[in-house]
Structure 1
Amino acid sequence: MEHVPEYTSLLVLRGDPAGGGASLLGDLRAAMAGLGEADRQALREPVFFEGRAENLRGVGAPRMPFTVLEDGQDGQPAWVRWAGKMLRDPRNTGRTAVLERFATALEQTTVAVTLGRVRLLVVGQRRIAHGRTALGPQKGLADGTRRWIMQAKATVDPAAPAHQALAGAAAGRRNDA
């Protein structure tokens, strides 16, 4: 998408009673730094695909194909667009070797975190890749006992009323000093 939300959050209302579904968190920038310049250059090319983008609101038009690595003004990665599903997308045939090298580098930075009931995870999507391990065995679980998570995505909008109020309050504090 043109405007991928900067943050995603998971609120665990009920953890997996079978003990699975750990959240996986990987440092996209550290993984990118572990690649050679030739791989980083290949990932800057707008030739990659992942999934479909239909009926989404507030995120702009689909960017397909897209670059995996988008540099910022300081030469550092500003955005690393990544999804493990890219490895299996047939439109990326011929480019899977560089994607696999990145996936391996990302795996080296990944930690697993098991979130229990009423835990909230907020992730900056420009820095952290997120996923989960498989749920534990679900057969035989009683209704109303399975894992239940709410997800929300957000981005900073300086024109939003809340940000305007915060900016005004900060300006007032500076003038009081």
Structure 2
Amino acid sequence: MLSGAAGGYVVVRLRNIAQALGIGDQFLHLATAILAEVAIPFQPFQRWPLWKEIGTNLDANPGLSTGTGYNAFHMDLVNATQPPDYTTLLCVRPDPLGAGASILSDARAAVSRLSPSSRALLADMTYRYGSFFNLSDVGEEYRPFPVLDDKPADLGFVRFTAKMLIESGLDEAHAHAAKELADQMVAGQVSFTLQRGDMLIVNQHRWVHGREPLGGGQHNVAPGDRRLLLQLFLRNSGAGSR
């Protein structure tokens, strides 16, 4: 389900275990052991623990992962030469207001629906996004980078984040090609709401992810009751030699 032309993501439902154990150290040890059967857990952000919290911050930019608005399609660490092969999101608390569905899209399928001229523009080393500091085991900063590379799908990436449409300072042609790709991703998206104990694993070589807006009225929800995910990254064995 995670590899092959028809695969790219999976949800592992550990709800009963979360109910029995709670989501503390014992549960996280179990979840990490399960993920270690997929690939190697690693810690690219040295200022955060292996399981990085993605909470709900009412003061954050709404479009960020910790914000309350629409978090558009992206891959994680898009500006690293060796991004994580998999990103994992574990739901500790869903949005109590019933919103904030996870969204995913097959990036490879979206690319296949583009014109040859758009694909050629996306292969140019023109795109930029994000900063790069206090990171380890993800190679070097990649700036500028191409959205499309010439590697096979199991090695290369569709290096996309919708935020680069605003921050890259792109010329009209390259911006239009990236917007076309974004539109195709939205057209092919799937969505579902993670529940407590659900663990989403996304193959970053094939799929991108994001989030629908959280429910309105978050200021009426106690901070300890707001949506909370934990994120962990995985590296295929031998990936560092690529």
Q: TM class by shorter-chain length?
A: 0.7 to 0.9
1:150 maps onto 2:216 in alignment = no
**Match of residue 87, structure 1, among 165, 189, 193:** 165
Instruction: State the secondary structure of the residue aligned to 2:160.
Output: coil
The letter of the residue matching 2:232 is A
**Match of residue 139, structure 1, among 219, 222, 229:** 219
Q: Distance in 1 between matches of 2:224 and 2:189?
A: 31
Provide closer, same or farther for how the CA distance between residues 85 and 159 of structure 1 changes in structure 2, counting only shifts above 3 A.
closer
Instruction: State the secondary structure of the residue aligned to 1:105.
Output: helix
When the two chains are superposed, the root-mean-square deviation of aligned CA atoms in Å is 2.1
Within-5 A mapping of 1:1-177:
1-72=80-151, 78-94=156-172, 95-137=174-216, 138-158=218-238
Alignment size in residue pairs: 159
Q: Distance in 1 between matches of 2:206 and 2:238?
A: 21
Instruction: State the secondary structure of the residue aligned to 2:149.
Output: strand
Of structures 1 and 2, the one scoring higher in RCO (CA 8 A, sep 6+) is 1
Q: Distance in 1 between matches of 2:222 and 2:180?
A: 42
Unaligned stretches of 5+ in structure 1?
161-177
Q: Between 87-96 and 23-32, report the one with greater CA deviation.
A: 87-96
Q: TM-score, normalised by structure 2?
A: 0.62
Q: Is the 8 A contact 2:148 2:159 kept in 1?
A: yes
**Which 4+ runs in 1 deviate beyond 6 A?**
none
Q: Is the 8 A contact 2:129 2:168 kept in 1?
A: no
Unaligned stretches of 5+ in structure 2?
1-79
Provide closer, same or farther for how the CA distance between residues 34 and 141 of structure 1 changes in structure 2, counting only shifts above 3 A.
same
The letter of the residue matching 2:210 is G
Q: Calculate percent identity across the aligned residue pairs.
A: 35
Q: Distance in 1 between matches of 2:170 and 2:155?
A: 22
Q: Distance in 2 between matches of 1:152 and 1:92?
A: 32
CA-CA distance at 1:147 after TM superposition: 0.8
Q: Distance in 1 between matches of 2:176 and 2:137?
A: 33
Q: Which structure has the greater CA radius of gyration?
A: 1
